[in-house]
Chains A and B, each alone.
Chain A
Amino acid sequence: MKKKWMKVTSLVAAAAMTVISMTACNNEKSFMDGMSDEEKTAWETAMNDPYGKYPELVTYTTGYNLTNQGSDVLAGTPYENDTPENNAYTRYLKEVLNVQNENAFEAISGPDYNQKVSTAIASGNIPDIMHVADYETLVDLVESDLIADLTDVYNNLACDTVKEAYASYGEENNPLNTVTFDGKIMAIPKTQLSDGQDFLWLRKDWLDKLGLEEPSTLEEMENVLKAFIEQDPDGNGQNDTIGLVVHSDVYGDYPNNTFAIDNVFTAMNAYPNIWVTDDSGKAVYGSVQPEMKEPLTLLSNWYKDGIIDKEFATRTTDDIVGLISTGKCGAFIGPWWAPFNQAQTSTYATDDAEWVNVSCPVGTDGKINAISTKSYAGFVVVRKDFEHPELAMKIVNVNSEYSKQDKSEAAAEVKENQTLAYFNWPLYCEVQPGNNAELMTQNVKAVMNGEKDVSELTTEEQSYYESVVRYQEAEAAGQKADAADYSQYTARIPAMTKMIEEPANFLVPSFFETTDSMGSRWASLEKMEMETILKIITGEQDISSFDSFVEQWNKSGGEKITEEVNEMIK
């Protein structure tokens, strides 16, 4: 029923669009009153060109995302007097498009920024253009009719990179689906990088010392971890090493939660913490399925044998990083960018550690079972009645395409600021294909192999290439490379290569968002779940208590939420 309605409305919208585009030439806006025809044409040309520069400065109010680096990272650079309204990014946009942001609010991206957005909405005073992070807020804005329809803007002005990037997610998972309400595109979605699969990161130097092969199955993994505990890989003569460190949340937020061990579950076809489609086509919650019993039994055995850290339930992430940094542990599960973690950079610098990512533990078909992330990571919305809705699209174009191909001095300033990482692009919305990280690695490798010239790389790829060169030069000279170069090299070249060459099976969760009852019940259900999981792994409860947990879970609201989820995805 809903689908049919959407078809009808999209037809109507399409018809309306034709009419609008036919009348576009006469589509005068109020700010053009009193302009000569020449001026009007200049404005219209600029407004209908993806990169058109406005004849006069256009000022827009916005919410600005900062990063939590602290402005001190700018000290001593040419940028120390930059502000959120006057920095490399805003100067660049001013030069390319002749636009200037005026910040209605600024905050660190994340909860702080989101709170600013909610107070702005509640006080009925939203900025001209802003980034909103979550889907519920978008729905709110659409329902309260506060934001503009961007269908025309998108169709007329989105650059090829943006269009192709959205299409690369496939028809089902296209980010545009999420922002289409009654056939109208109400926001420009920011894409979420496909984060790839988690790997088992191991100290290669320990493997070599103990004469071990890189593991692949769960059984091989167990043997390697046992050897890491028993055979004194750090060679200090003491029995003080830990097998596998485990995040106190055990699983969830795949694959962003470095040290979580989702892979152990997925290797046995259990998919905790996400909504999966069962055999009958219904959405069910992975953590309460019978498949969970097998990995839980295994983990409780591992816990008993000390293969996983005995104190994992009480360790903070900092504690875990500490264990690895001091060379007490040489194995953890994490994504391809784990080399950015201080656990790796400090052992590289002080302990001669050599980290490798291994596709392990694999499922029955020899591949890692991974979980897909959602395709969108926020939305750019435009206030209703704002005179230049096309401005949002143009900034996203410049961010996602133009700036990357621009080799001018102004663009170099932007590139330099990316490594400083205090300011962000206004609107905070880069659209890139889901496999962008892979593509960049392939381009950088092509230059390394001599198949491509450096000048063919985008500015971003060039900065990675430079890191790689610096790393290799330092290593060749027998020195330790800078931590940042080590991270870029290890993550982008060997780790990413493995990700490309050893693909995983990706399961797309059937539902990403929240339902009505989740607001009041979900927190306590998750707490109940985590307590049970921890108790079973640490042996405080027998595996048989899993069934009574599932029953309890369903009774305490789980059943109702499952119904709601199925209703929403219908």
Chain B
Amino acid sequence: MVQKKTFGSFVAKGIIWIIVIAMTLSCLLPLINMVAISLSSSNAVASNQVGLLPVDFTVTTYQKLLNDSQFWASFWISVKRVILGTAINMFFAITMAYPLSKSKFRFPAREIYIKVIIFAMLFSGGIIPLFMVVSKLNLVDTIWALVLPGAVPVFNVILLINFFKGVPDSLDEAARIDGASTLTILTKVYLPVSLPALATIALFSIVYHWNDYFSGLLYMNKASLYPLQTYIQQLTVDITQITDTEQLKQLATMSNRAFNATKIVVSTIPLLVIYPFLQKYFVSGIVIGAVKE
């Protein structure tokens, strides 16, 4: 079918392009600016001269970062958290979503479970009760405090339920006739056809665990146990009130913005690296052709 190139469609296309480009730039420019700051001299940064290109190009902040032992300690904690947290999230999301994707004739209590998890998604006890539960379970100051409170990612579960629902029932029946157990059906039939969805929720989990700074602040009582984003967040807090001469001294030795930008840039690299590897799973239409109606 050949589309007629009217003036109207030309304009519409132009507008779409402008919007898409504007959105791309609004995501990309701050990132480029941060990279430029990290590669500029601290004087140039302080005087706000740095835009999209580095001024007085230097890599001293990167060299300095290699010596910052707390940065790498926190980096390692974050890596452990992502691996552990994502594995736990995926396990619970899959094992929960599969039964819940079945109709209520095969799984009568389904509606109750759905209601409970949705309720828990919308309402929570608040920070203090959450903290008290975690601290009474003796999880504070351990890596488990960072991964267990969010072990069941409700939003991801719902995504996965809907994806599993889209898998034709005939696939399930065919496997069952061939003598497959429920577990085999889940692992050999459902998971392979759900790779795009699994990649998506894995990415969500990774990004969540990598970027979350608040639970580190809440559950870690020792600064040496902070995950990376908590550590970085701490560097960007401002001193608002000068109450004693000690704080005046701090002002004099204020960590410079260029160095903090370097830390931010380095902390985003792992995510940028992971993304392309997951992208190859974002292909659709795997079930097409599996069933003949």
Contact = CB atoms under 8 A, between A and B. Distances in A.
Given A84-B223, A421-B253, 18 more contacts: A68-B234, A69-B254, A70-B235, A70-B255, A72-B70, A72-B71, A84-B222, A103-B221, A105-B221, A122-B132, A123-B131, A193-B244, A256-B240, A326-B48, A342-B46, A342-B254, A460-B245, A491-B248
Contacts of A72: 64-65, 67-68, 70-71, 255, 259
B218 interface: yes
Interface stretch (A109-117, A389-397, A533-541): A109-117
Given A71-B70, A111-B237, A83 B224 contact: yes
A76 interface: yes
B252 A488 contact: yes
B95 interface: no
Contacts of B246: 418, 421, 424, 430
B217 A112 contact: yes
A253 B241 contact: yes
B67 to A, nearest CB: 5
B237 A322 contact: no
B147 to A, nearest CB: 20
Interface string A310-329: 00000000110111011000
B249 to A, nearest CB: 5
Contacts of B46: 321-322, 325, 342, 346
A73 B253 contact: yes
A119 B243 contact: no
A70 B70 contact: yes
Most B CB atoms within 10 A — which of A66, A325, A349, A491? Answer: A325
Interface of B: 43, 46-49, 64-65, 67-71, 127-128, 131-132, 135, 217-218, 221-224, 234-237, 239-255, 259
Contacts of A487: 251-252
Nearest to A488: B252
A72 B286 CA distance: 50
Contacts of A192: 243
A374 to B, nearest CB: 10
B267 to A, nearest CB: 13
17 contacts: A70-B68, A70-B255, A76-B67, A107-B223, A112-B234, A118-B128, A119-B218, A123-B131, A193-B243, A253-B240, A253-B241, A322-B49, A326-B49, A346-B43, A432-B244, A460-B245, A487-B252
A484 B237 contact: no
Contacts of B241: 253, 256, 377
Interface of B: prevailing SS: helix
A458 B172 CA distance: 82
Nearest to A111: B237
Interface residues of A, number: 68
Most B CB atoms within 10 A — which of A71, A76, A110? Answer: A71
Contact of B251 (A71, A76, A119, A337): A337
B243 A437 contact: no
Most A CB atoms within 10 A — which of B131, B248, B255? Answer: B248
A551 B26 CA distance: 42
B67 A119 contact: no
A193 B246 CA distance: 11
A195 B70 CA distance: 35
Most A CB atoms within 10 A — which of B70, B128, B247? Answer: B247
Nearest to B253: A421
A111 B246 CA distance: 18
Closest 10 CB pairs of A and B: A322-B48, A325-B47, A377-B243, A105-B221, A72-B68, A340-B251, A71-B70, A122-B128, A421-B250, A342-B46
Contacts of B47: 321-322, 325-326, 346
A104 interface: yes
Contacts of A335: 242
Contacts of A436: 245
Contacts of A70: 68, 70, 234-235, 255, 259
